[in-house]
Structure 1
Amino acid sequence: MIGALLPAPVVTAEAFGDPAVAPELFPEEAALVERAVPERQREFTTVRALARTALGRLGHDPAPILPGVRGAPRWPTGVVGSMTHCRGYRAAAMAHAADLVTVGIDAEPNLALPNQDVLETVLFGRERTHVRELGALRPEVSWDRLVFSAKESVYKAWFPLTGLWLDFDQATLRIDPEAGTFHARLLVPGPEVGHTRLSGFDGRWQVDGGLIVTTIAVYRKDLEQPDGPPSGAPGN
C-alpha cells in the first residue's frame, strides 16, 4: 500500500502482520518493551525490523532505533523517516535528507472513531461538515478516522522540523475523495525550510483491505524551485 503513495526516492517496507519467528531486537530496544503486553512487543519488533530493512536499502548498517524527544524515533544522520503500526499493518518509510525534508506516515483501521468525545477532539468547524458530506458521497470510507490519520501524518512530518507539539485544532484538513489527496493548512506559523516557510502539508491517502493509510512527503526539489509551492508537496 504505502509504496504506491510514496514513490522513489522514498524507500518503504510494510507487513500485514507479524512473522512467526520474531526478528531480533537490540538490547536497548528490548528494554523498552520488556514489561509490555505481547501484542505491543510484536508490533514494536516488527516495525523496527521493517525500518532497518528500509535503512539497509539506503546503505545503513543495522542499529538500534530508539525514541528521542516526545518519543519520536531517532534516525541516522542524513536520514528522514517515519514508522506506523495498527492492528494488521506495520510500515516504515525512509529517505536521504538530501532528497526529502521530512516524511510522515500513519495507518488506522477503516472504522469510525470510537465515540463522540474523540471525534470532537479531532475534527473542528468546517471539518465536521466536510466529513458528513464525504460520508454521503462514499459511505464505505470512515472519513473521520481518515482525518485523524492524516493529522497524525501531519504531526509526524511537522515535529522533526520544529521540535514542537501540534494539536489537532492547529491544522485544518481538506480531503479530495477522487484524487486520493489531502491538504492540511496550518493555523500556527509553519516551519522555515531554507528560504521557504511551510504554510501546510499536502499528502496522499488510500483505503484498502480494511485499512486507512495516509502519507506526507516534503521533497527538497519542490522547495528549491523559485516558484515552488509554500506547502509541502507530495511530489511525483
Structure 2
Amino acid sequence: MNTLIPDCCKPLQPHWPLPQPLSGAYLVSTRFDASRLSADDFARCEIPAVPGASKRQCEYLAGRLCARHALWQLTGHASVPAVGEDRAPQWPAGIVGSITHSAGHAAALVAHANNWRGLGMDLERLLSPERSQRLAGEILTSHELLRLQQLDPALHPWLISLTFSAKESLFKALYPLVGQRFYFQDAQVLEWSPTGRLRLGLLKSLNGEWVRGTEVEGQFAELESQLLTLVSIANQTAT
C-alpha cells in the first residue's frame, strides 16, 4: 500500500472517538490544509484526481486517504472508493462505509456488510448562533422546533448543529438501502443523551421496509471541537 502522506495532510489516525464501538468497524481520520496541496499530490498518493478548487480537491484527497487506510485495516487490501454517478463512494463488494469532511478534518469508516447493512457518518463545524437561527426552519421539523423553544437559548446552536449532522448521517446510512433521496423534514431526532446516544425516526415511508415511524439508533461525539455523528444499521442476519 502507498503510505505516503502529502504535506497537506496530517498523519492518519486510526481511533474510535464515539461512545459506542461498532463490532468489526474501523475509523480513520486526519486533518488537512488546502493551502499546502501540491499539483502532484494525487499522482504521488496514487489516487485519481478530481476537478474543482483546491479546497474541494484537498478534502477529497484526505477523505480517500482515510478510506484506503481503513479498508487496509479491515481487509488487508488497500483500495480507493470511486465516485458513483450519484456522487456516493463505491465500496468494494461486501463492504459498507462512509466518508466525511468538514473544516479541515476528514474521516472514513468501513465494516463488513455481513455485520452492518448501512453506515452513515457526518462531521460538522458548530453553526454560529446567527446561522443556526436562519437555518432552523429548514433543518428542524415543527416538533423539533417546539422542543427547541423549551430549552436554554444558549443550547440552540449546538442542538441545531447536532440535528443537522444526525440527519446527514441518517441519509448516508439509508440511501444505499432505499435508492432515493430524502430531506431534513422527512426525519426527526426523537431524543438525544449527554452520553452521546441518539434516536431518530422517519416521517416518510421510503420503501416497503423503511416506512414512516421506523426508528434508528445513532451516536455522537466531539472531534476536536466539531460534531461527529454516526448512524449504523445492523445486519440482523449476522451471527
TM-score range, shorter chain: 0.7 to 0.9
Deviations 1:22-42 (A, max 9, x none): 464546x31x22xx1112111
Does structure 2 retain, via aligned residues, the 8 Å contact 1:79–1:94? Answer: yes
Higher mean C-alpha displacement, 105-114 vs 142-151: 105-114
Write out aligned runs for 1:29-108 (5 A).
29-30=48-49, 32-33=50-51, 36-59=52-75, 61-108=77-124
CA distance in 1, matches of 2:188, 2:219: 15
Aligned to 2:147: 130
Higher mean C-alpha displacement, 176-185 vs 78-87: 176-185
Q: CA deviation at 1:60?
A: 5.2
Q: CA deviation at 1:112?
A: 3.3
Does structure 1 retain, via aligned residues, the 8 Å contact 2:132–2:161? Answer: no
Write out aligned runs for 1:144-163 (5 A).
144-163=160-179
What SS does structure 1 have at the residue aligned with 2:147?
A: helix
Aligned pairs, how many?
216
Q: CA deviation at 1:190?
A: 5.0
Give the TM-score of the pair, scaled to structure 2: 0.79
Matched-pair identity in % = 26
Does structure 1 retain, via aligned residues, the 8 Å contact 2:72–2:78? Answer: yes
Cα distance change of structure 1 residues 69 and 184 upon mapping to structure 2, 3 Å threshold: farther
Which runs of structure 1 show a deviation greater than 6 angstroms over 4 or more consecutive aligned residues? none
CA distance in 2, matches of 1:94, 1:56: 10
Structure 1 unaligned regions, length at least 5:
226-236
Structure 2 unaligned regions, length at least 5:
1-13
Write out aligned runs for 1:191-230 (5 A).
199-220=214-235, 223-224=236-237
Q: CA deviation at 1:147?
A: 0.4
Alpha-carbon RMSD across the aligned residues, in angstroms, is: 2.9
Does structure 1 retain, via aligned residues, the 8 Å contact 2:67–2:80? Answer: no
Deviations 1:108-165 (A, max 9, x none): 01223726453211111111133344445x7396111110000000000010101110
The amino acid of 2:62's aligned partner reads: T
